[in-house]
Amino acid sequence: MHTLILFDIDGTLTRGGPAKVAFETAMVETYGTAGAVESYDFSGKTDPQIARELLMAAGLEDAVIDAGLAGLWDRYIGEIESQISENPMRLLPGVASLVEALDSEPDVALGLVTGNIIRGARVKLGSVGLSEYFEVGAYGSDHEVREYLPAIALERAFEAWGVRFPPESAVIVGDTPRDVECGKHVGARTVAVATGRIPREQLEATGADAIFDDFSDVASVIEALLP
């Protein structure tokens, strides 16, 4: 295995689904408020970062926030599981073919770098038939700060396969400037895709190594991922 490709989930592999509504409900049930969710920018942030930023802005203290987190995540996952059949996640264009093609490349290992907590990532990917492709990953539940996640994913790859991937052999794939920044932070290559909320021009300003409108041209995407 020579290349480790680390995918973000929301806006990169999938769109839609009940996560935002589930999160709001769980926040209100746990803390009595979801804060200013309507005006809040979620893009590329980790789940614990989102919760903490919203709650601190609403005047809650760190100790109160920390004390509620375990219950928050239990309620959040419960809400997603109960709503996901009515409000399913969808795979973005080209993703199913791209993941399948990469999975069959002997030199490629696949993983995740996502702000989702691990249980959220599993339920989301399971609902769109992608759960078996991503053996390793780093999640919002590993660290609130996305910049630290790629290094954690590299370590997990070593634990899983006994292979030390140098950072420059890893590729971070995501839909926001924060994805590109966390990849650059560890020295990985970066590929951005404009299927989330961030317009292409804004992704171009990040200096990502390659940018796609979507992943429907699978051959071109593979060429960018495995130069």
Q: By CB under 5 A, name the binding residues for Mg ion.
A: 8, 10-11, 175
SS3 state of residue 226: coil
Q: Residue for token digits 């961030």? A: 198
CB-CB neighbours of 156 under 10 Å: 19
- State the nearest-atom distance from the C-beta of 22 to Mg ion, in Å: 17
- State the nearest-atom distance from the C-beta of 178 to Mg ion, in Å: 8
Q: Indicate the residue among 44 and 68 with the shorter CB distance to Mg ion.
A: 44
- State the nearest-atom distance from the C-beta of 144 to Mg ion, in Å: 16
Residue 195 dihedral angles phi and psi, to the nearest 5°: -100, 5
**What residues form DSSP beta bridges with 138?**
113
Q: Indicate the residue among 25 and 176 with the shorter CB distance to Mg ion.
A: 176
- State the nearest-atom distance from the C-beta of 108 to Mg ion, in Å: 21
- State the nearest-atom distance from the C-beta of 198 to Mg ion, in Å: 9
Q: Indicate the residue among 11 and 150 with the shorter CB distance to Mg ion.
A: 11
Q: Indicate the residue among 60 and 193 with the shorter CB distance to Mg ion.
A: 193
Nearest residue to Mg ion on Cβ basis:
11
Q: Indicate the residue among 68 and 94 with the shorter CB distance to Mg ion.
A: 94
- 192/24 Cα distance (integer angstroms): 28
- 138/46 Cα distance (integer angstroms): 11
Please, are residues 212 and 194 in contact by the beta-carbon 8 Å criterion? yes
For residue 29, give both structure tokens. 């049930």
- 122/102 Cα distance (integer angstroms): 20
Instruction: State how far the alpha carbon of 96 is from the alpha carbons of 66, 152, 187, in Å.
Output: 37, 26, 27
